[in-house]
Amino acid sequence: MPSLTHEALLLLFRNRPELAPELLREALGVELPAYTEVRVESADLTEVVPAEYRADLVVLLVDGKPVLAIAVEVQLARDDRKRFTWPVYVTGLRARFECAAVVLVITPAMDVARWAAEPIKLGPGATFAALVLGPDAVPIITDRGRVEGRPPVVAFAVSHPN
């Protein structure tokens, strides 16, 4: 049950929604985009028709409890829709497992790697960046000791020649 203080503060914004951008700009120094209207919208964020967000693969690191969720995304070409879905993957995994989460993009193409590594602006003061493993980041394995017992690492390195 929300407290009286909670409801009183909320009422300030409900009665005068201009207060939110004013405080962002004047108290926090946030640069806002140009706008012509301020209005209150429904606070219910439930999806009536649920959207499906599906990563290629989710890897979970656990130490008695989840400590890191990794959404692995293989990206062979640019897909501008990913600039909107990758942040959803991170927040969804973070909420589900109650731990840190990242998106790891794997790509064999340098132009796709550069594109995927560009920070995604979520709003004033908030950005998201995927971790990107492109062809220039694949380790060159020259030590036989690092090869033995690690065929997947060798196969990955061979499939991404530098």
Domain residue spans of the chain: 1-45, 46-159
> Residue 128: beta bridge partners?
120
Q: What is the mean pLDDT of residues 41-47?
A: 69
Q: What is the 3-state secondary structure (H, E, C) of the chain?
A: CCCHHHHHHHHHHHHCCCHHHHHHHHCCCCCCCCCCCCCCCCCCCCCCCCCCCCCCEEEEEECCCEEEEEEEEECCCCCCCHHHHHHHHHHHHHHHHCCEEEEEEECCCHHHHHHHHCCEEEECCEEECCEEECHHHCCCCCCHHHHCCCHHHHHHHHHCCC
- What pTM value is reported for the model? 0.72
Q: What are the two backbone dihedrals, phi and then psi, of residue 132, each rounded to the nearest 5 degrees?
A: -120, 130
Return the structure tokens found at 55: 């990563």
Query: Among 67-76, 106-115, 132-141, whose mean pLDDT is lowest?
Result: 132-141
- Tell me the C-alpha distance between 75 and 118, whole Å: 14
pLDDT at 152: 52
User: What is the pLDDT confidence band of residue 47, given thresholds at 50, 70 and 90?
Assistant: low
Mean pLDDT of 38-65: 80
Q: What is the pLDDT of residue 148?
A: 63
* Phi, psi (degrees; rounded to nearest 5) at 69: -105, 130
- Comparison of pLDDT for 50 and 97, the residue scoring more: 97
Assign 151 a pLDDT band (cuts: 50, 70, 90).
low
Q: What is the pLDDT of residue 93?
A: 93
